[in-house]
């Protein structure tokens, strides 16, 4: 797994935070749940209008699944990766920037970079010095958290 750090203007932080936590496979607007009564074949036989609704909903779900399967940008799901979004000021860096730490496989990182370039004007790969500071801060925080859990359960 590779670790990378990206910088963005602080103004993009809210939008970026929402994008990072979004998983299209859990989005009920995109993939709605099938009503339970549609599982009952007798109900569908007794209610022809429900059968039409069932078929329309089934087609909508199938189309959405096909789109998810074939659209690479929709499959860049940050919520399933290890990431951290930090304000620059909290890291002793540029207070007008926020920094995204991302740990994932190289293929995911390439696709993520393509998507982030398209969606955020201020997107930039952080320089080596900044990357090291952010990565060190993330690792130090993880170590402190692990030590805290160790003292609780240890």
Can you give the pLDDT at residue 102?
A: 96
Can you give the pLDDT at residue 114?
A: 94
Pick from 78, 63, 75, 56: which is nearest to 30 by CA? 63
Question: For residues 88 and 109, is the Cβ–Cβ distance under 8 A?
Answer: no
154: confidence class by pLDDT, cuts 50, 70, 90: low
Measured distance CA(102)–CA(6) in Å, rounded: 8
Can you give the pLDDT at residue 150?
A: 59
Question: For residues 116 and 6, is the Cβ–Cβ distance under 8 A?
Answer: yes
pLDDT one-digit tens code per residue, 3-60: 999 999 999 999 999 999 999 999 998 888 888 888 888 888 888 888 889 999 999 9
Q: If you average pLDDT over residues 130-145, what whole number do you get?
A: 91
Measured distance CA(36)–CA(32) in Å, rounded: 12
């Amino acid at each position: 797994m590779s670790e990378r750090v990206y910088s963005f203007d602080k103004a993009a932080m809210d939008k970026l935070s929402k994008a990072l936590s979004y998983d299209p496979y859990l989005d009920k607007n995109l993939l709605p749940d099938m009503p339970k009564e549609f599982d009952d074949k007798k109900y569908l036989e007794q209610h022809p209008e429900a059968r039409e609704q069932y078929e329309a909903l089934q087609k909508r779900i199938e189309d959405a699944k096909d789109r998810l399967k074939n659209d690479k940008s929709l499959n860049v799901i940050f919520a399933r990766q290890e990431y951290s979004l930090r304000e620059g000021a909290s890291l002793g860096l540029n207070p007008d920037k926020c920094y995204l730490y991302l740990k994932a496989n190289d293929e995911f990182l390439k696709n993520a970079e393509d998507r982030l370039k398209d969606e955020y004007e201020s997107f930039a790969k952080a320089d080596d010095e900044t990357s090291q500071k952010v990565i060190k801060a993330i690792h130090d925080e993880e170590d402190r958290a692990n030590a805290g859990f160790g003292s609780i359960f240890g």
